[in-house]
């Protein structure tokens, strides 16, 4: 990643272009922010891409323009380090007829507390307001799902090179208990896993029962 938080894209005929991705918590934003992103993309001949991580990427940018672009946007980068909590994806929850609980609140709380936190490897968190688990929560490193009987917390999911379905760590717990469990999972992973080890392989290495005992025993 470039020092100005730009990702190098394909090099064509010796021409190097970069992309940037501003942080948009949960994918919720304002018309004013969208207008600002559009204005910057137009000014610097950027192409706009809606990402799978509920963000807006601006690509086709020149490296020498990146610092000025960030200043004009006035936004934080979505990813400052690949070894961190990259994002917290959220379903529409409070706006969805299928939602069992408005999980936008806990999603934003998790995002504020953990987005950008250093981890052994890239870490994604998903939050959903029902067991439909929109946002591929079961493919996220950590997941929070609301059900009629309480919250479900999952861990170890991945949709990358080595797909893995997340394990259910706890169910039928309160919103506060779910938040605290997410914190314990991340803290245990950060302090115990090997550098470069994803959460799913870490769970497989130490055993699911040992992992559960470690993160649930402190409750």
Domain ranges of the chain: 7-73, 85-216
| Tokens 């394990």 -> residue | 167
DSSP 205: H
pLDDT tens figures, 167-176: 999 999 999 9
Query: Parallel, antiparallel, or unpaired for β 85-90 and 123-128?
Result: parallel
187 CB-contact burial (10 Å; exposed 0-12 / middle 13-18 / buried 19+): middle
Distance CA 176, CA 121 (A): 26
Q: Which two tokens stand for residue 58?
A: 């601006």
| pLDDT of amino acid 219 | 46
The Cα 29–Cα 9 span in angstroms is 26
Token representation of residue 130: 């029902």
DSSP letters for 80-107: S-SSBEEEEEE--GGG-TT-SS-THHHH
- Could you tell me which of 152, 116, 108 has the C-alpha nearest to residue 131? 152
Selected residue with higher pLDDT from 16 and 209:
209
Q: What is the mean pLDDT of residues 39-63?
A: 95
In angstroms, how far is the first alpha carbon of the chain from the final one?
38
Residue 218 predicted with pLDDT over 60 = no
Q: Give the residue-averaged pLDDT of 83-99.
A: 95
CATH number for the domain whose boundaries are 85-216? 3.30.413.10
Global confidence as pTM? 0.92
pLDDT (tens digit per residue) in 124-150: 999 999 999 998 999 999 999 999 999
């Amino acid at each position: 990643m470039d020092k100005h938080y730009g990702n190098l894209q394909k090099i064509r005929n010796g021409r190097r272009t970069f992309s940037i991705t501003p942080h948009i918590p949960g994918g919720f934003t304002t018309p004013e922010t969208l207008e600002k992103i559009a204005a910057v993309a137009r000014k610097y001949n950027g192409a706009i891409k809606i990402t799978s991580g509920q963000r807006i990427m601006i690509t086709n940018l020149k490296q020498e323009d990146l610092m000025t672009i960030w200043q004009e946007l006035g936004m934080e980068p979505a990813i400052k380090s690949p070894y961190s909590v990259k994002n917290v994806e959220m379903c529409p929850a409070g706006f969805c007829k299928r939602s069992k609980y408005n999980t936008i609140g806990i999603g934003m709380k998790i995002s504020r507390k953990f987005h950008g936190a250093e981890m052994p490897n890239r870490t994604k968190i998903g939050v959903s307001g029902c067991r439909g688990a929109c946002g591929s929560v079961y493919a996220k490193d950590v997941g929070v799902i609301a059900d009629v009987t309480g919250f479900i917390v999952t861990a170890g999911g991945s949709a990358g090179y080595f797909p893995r379905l997340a394990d259910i760590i706890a169910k039928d717990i309160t919103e506060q208990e779910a938040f605290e469990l997410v914190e314990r999972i991340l803290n245990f992973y950060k302090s115990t896993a090997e550098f470069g080890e994803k959460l799913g392989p870490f769970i497989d290495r130490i055993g699911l029962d040992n992992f559960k005992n470690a993160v649930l025993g402190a409750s």
